[in-house]
Chains A and B, each alone.
Chain A
Amino acid sequence: MNRPSARRVPPPSAAPPPACTSTPLPGTPLPGTLLPDTLLLGALRPPLARALPATLTLARALHAEWTKLRTAGGTWTALLALVLATAGLGAAAAAGVSCPAAGCGEDATRLALTGVTLGQAVAVVLAAAAVGGEYGTGMIRTTLAAVPGRGTAYTAKAAALAGAVLLASTAAVLGSLLAGRLILPGSGFTPAHGYPPLSLGDGPTLRAAVGSVLYLALVALLTVGVATAVREPAAAAGVVLGLLYLFPLLTRVVADPDWQRRLQQVAPMPAGLAVQATTGLDRLPVPPWTGLAVLAGWSAGALLLGAALLRRRDA
């Protein structure tokens, strides 16, 4: 009779790992130093990790992804490049275009935000390298061993990337608008010609600015999905850049106006960039926010495809 009871109460030596790592209280703030232990234990004992509350697991995975992204070579360079490329091309466009007289028909806000067409390429590089790079180095196996819930690891990676890109693109868009505000009057975009200085106090301009920031984050998410699906950063960058840049080229060639309009309504870049328009809204093929929603649809589709393949395939 003694032996079964002894079994039921395990000896102290067989006690589970220290309480601080195995059974944290929900809501307890986690010191950063705990993370490696948690990950290691999670790797060794997947059932234990699964037993954690889902939000906590996600928070830890997010922290891990953020650490990886923060410490990877090139991330900060890429984020800086995103800001500089966006604001730089915007400034160049603002300086290169002239408005000699009133009613020259240019959309000043959109002009100042031209750089987003280049900045998105940097967002693509960042996301493709962050996702696809793990496959190249084998890091993906470590990641998935540490966070066995593949959906969790994937969500965390997408969220960390989207957060980083949101930060950089906010700086990029604000920089572009500031450059436009300073440069455009010199190119003839003066109040006398019907162009007040660019200001976030102006409703459509604010919408264009917020929309451009979201646009860049959505492009990064699109890349996360594609890169997870194709697992090779260069190919992922090629596919996403193709999706973004080929549709507008095709639209130019299709000689039928109805088809042109239809293509502009479904293509990720032309539809998504409709959110930048502040003039001629009635001539847009798709309303601003609807256009951004079209891009969001592409991103969601790519993310779902990536998630499905990530769950199904060996890493």
Chain B
Amino acid sequence: MTGDAAERDAAKRDALPGHAVTGAAVAGEAGTARDRTRAGRADGGEPNGTDAVTAQAGPAGRGRAGFRRLVRAELTKFLTVRGWTLAPAAALVTVLVGLLGTAAPGGADDGGFPRGPGGQAVNDAFFFVHRTLDGDGSITAQVGPLTGLTDPGPGGQAVPGVQPWAKAGIIVKAGPGRGSGYAAVMLTGAHGVRMQDDYTHDTAGPALAGDARRLRLVRTGEDITGYASGDGVHWTTLGTAHLPGLPRTVRAGLFVASPQAATDTGAGTGYAPAVATAEFGRPELVGGWQGNGWQGGQAGGDAGTSGSYSDTLRGGFTESAGRITVTGAGDIAPVVGGPPMGPAHTVENFLVGSFAGLLVLVVLGAVSVTAEYRRGLIRTTLAAHPGRGRVLAAKAAVLGTAAATAGLAGAALAVPLGRWRSHAAHFRDLPVTTATELRATAGTALLFALAALLALAAGVVLRRGAPAVTAVVAALVLPYLLATSGILPAGPAQWLLRLTPAAGFAIQQTVPRYPQVDGAYTPEFGYFPLPPWAGLAVLAGYTLAAGVLATVLLRRRDV
């Protein structure tokens, strides 16, 4: 506290009628006995009830022990009024509303998303023309231009055009199961030559043009090296993928995949089935290749969640004079949120109840101070503890701890319960790493604490409950609602989630974003413009600013 503020506080204390001021004056005059008490306190002596009254009135309220008493006083107030039940209530509604969010029945009972070697949900669906490779070997193929068709809807003509991340190339697949490891080099619709392996690794290759463009994969033990060439003479090494546990006998060959086409319609982004087609030259095989014919089929059985066939667009391959033409849909890539995910739940879905819990805590935070103004208790509080900033800090400590505990309990229950309900209703849920889930859970606790503190500060500034609650809800929940409900287009929606306290909800985002997957990375589908902790920092900044304003006003104003 600054000297000026201390003086102001002292002046206010003198101006206040009542026993507390008298007590302070007595403490000042009566001297030695009180001083001894203070000295004892400073040595770490535990206060008892009688001492607390005298000590709080005088400067002994300073220091760590004084602050501990302040916190205890606020805690006593908090626990002895009915309002404290709001904290467990916040945890409860977080869980209950979360369960409501997963109450809908009926997803596809297919055992969930395929998991890649890294544990993430993946799409592993493509048209695969393959042979068996036993041991080491290599495959080289010339790949022609990629073309594509998009389904126009009922009765229309298929629209030509290739998807940016449509893929055609050569691949070595570790096993027949969905989500098994792989390494591939490919030509893409709009992103040139790439080497990708195990769903998440993506390396850009050289810019190659012309019909002489060739791709090559060389398998040596568990290592697969990709090469590309523009003329069949000069080769560029794209990289080496290490596939742990790659069996001796693998399937390898040509593949084509195309994700769905995103189209902007009047009602938002729509998705239409799309296929890609590529013509390959006769593959040159070296090493332990088995059999003498190419087998073709859709790997993974269907086109996954991000690709699809239609009545008119189907996958297949034809062989003529050694050249092989392959058409396919699907994708070999991690699953991202939004429409490419299909009907599925995410961790943030299980945490939808946190909006309800947050609302309860905002009410608690605002009322914990506005009720004092309404009942006049604030005068007693500030007479007992003249250090106004410290009173506010003690209140914040009690409230923040209660809110964080409620958030942690609510989130820690809501996520597993939601997942259990989701499985019971045969919905898929997007798997996340433990670290991500912990971040979302602990983040919910911090979110609750920051929101309750923001409400506390708003309560001090506005001194009336209803405006304080509404101001915080309008600043925290309404921007999120406007940004995510599709009322606003993506641009303004993203600015809302950068600039308003609603940015804090980014801490709950678990849907992943990959540069090599075209997704609808917009707030409508759960993607925040800021990284999780940066978003929470925006909210923390608002809370801090409101707290400073509240402290200044509390010191300056009469009560």
Chain A residues within 8 Å of B, Cβ to Cβ:
74, 93, 96-98, 103-106, 114, 117-118, 121-122, 124-125, 128-129, 132-133, 136-137, 232-238, 241-242, 245-246, 248-250, 252-256, 258-259, 280, 283
Contacts and interface: CB of A to CB of B under 8 A. Distances in A.
A103 B266 contact: yes
Contact of A255 (B100, B104, B469, B470): B104
Nearest to B480: A249
B359 A246 contact: yes
Nearest to B348: A253
B446 to A, nearest CB: 20
Task: Kindly name the residue among A114, A128, A132, A242 whose own CB sees the greatest number of chain B CB atoms within 10 A.
Answer: A242
Contact of A93 (B343, B467, B492): B492
B45 interface: no
B349 A253 contact: yes
A246 B100 CA distance: 12
Contact of A241 (B104, B268, B465, B477): B477
Interface string B466-503: 11111001100110111011011101100100000000
A96 B350 CA distance: 32
Contacts of A259: 103-104
Given A97-B492, A133-B464, A241-B470, 5 more contacts: A132-B465, A233-B466, A237-B470, A246-B356, A253-B101
B99 to A, nearest CB: 11
A234 B363 contact: yes
A242 B465 contact: no
A232 B100 contact: no
Contacts of B485: 248-249, 252
A245 B469 contact: no
A128 B466 contact: yes
B101 A250 contact: yes
A268 B473 CA distance: 17
A124 B478 CA distance: 14
24 contacts: A96-B495, A97-B489, A114-B482, A114-B488, A121-B473, A122-B470, A125-B470, A133-B464, A136-B374, A234-B370, A234-B469, A238-B359, A238-B362, A241-B469, A246-B359, A248-B485, A249-B481, A249-B485, A250-B101, A252-B485, A253-B352, A255-B343, A280-B266, A283-B267
B128 interface: no
A118 B482 CA distance: 10
Contacts of A235: 363, 367, 465
Nearest to A96: B492
Interface centre among A129, A245, A255, A283 (most CB of B within 10 A): A255
Interface string B357-391: 00110110011001000100000000000000000
B461 to A, nearest CB: 14
Given A105-B266, A241-B473, A246-B359, A96 B104 contact: no
A234 B466 contact: yes
Complex A-B, nearest 4 residue pairs according to Cβ-Cβ distance, in ascending order: A234-B465, A105-B266, A256-B104, A96-B492
A105 B267 contact: yes
Nearest to A97: B489
Interface residue SS majority, chain B: helix
A232 to B, nearest CB: 7
A139 to B, nearest CB: 12
Contacts of B374: 136-137
A237 B362 CA distance: 11
B146 interface: no
Contacts, number: 136
Contacts of B355: 245-246, 249
Given A121-B473, A250-B352, A238 B363 contact: yes
A136 B344 CA distance: 47
A84 to B, nearest CB: 13
Contacts of A133: 464, 466
A255 B466 contact: no
A245 B100 contact: no
Contacts of A93: 488, 492
Given A121-B470, A121-B474, A255-B427, A237 B356 contact: no
B433 to A, nearest CB: 22
Contacts of A234: 363, 366-367, 370, 465-466, 468-469
A232 B488 CA distance: 34
Contacts of A96: 488, 491-492, 495
B128 to A, nearest CB: 31
Given A136-B374, A234-B469, A248-B481, A241 B359 contact: yes
Nearest to A259: B104
B107 interface: yes
- Of B268, B344, B465, most A-chain CB atoms within 10 Å: B465
Interface string B316-356: 00000000000000000000000000011100010010011
A125 B465 CA distance: 9
By CB atoms of chain A within 10 A, which of B356, B427, B484 has the most?
B356
A252 B100 CA distance: 12
A307 B491 CA distance: 46
B265 interface: yes
Contacts of A245: 355, 473, 477-478, 481
Contacts of B470: 121-122, 124-125, 128, 237, 241
B90 to A, nearest CB: 11
Contacts of A97: 488-489, 492
Given A245-B478, A255-B427, A132 B466 contact: yes
Nearest to A95: B492
Contacts of B464: 74, 129, 133, 233
B276 to A, nearest CB: 28
Contacts of B111: none
A65 B158 CA distance: 68
A256 B105 contact: yes
B183 interface: no
A260 to B, nearest CB: 8
A232 B356 contact: no
Nearest to A260: B104
B244 interface: no
B160 interface: no
B97 interface: yes
A118 B240 CA distance: 56
Given A129-B466, A236-B466, A256 B473 contact: no
Nearest to B492: A96
B287 interface: no
B492 A246 contact: no
B301 interface: no
Q: Which of A246, A258, A259, A280 has the most CB of B within 10 A?
A: A246
Nearest to A223: B466
Contacts of A128: 466, 470
Contacts of A98: 489, 491
B106 interface: yes
A118 B480 CA distance: 12
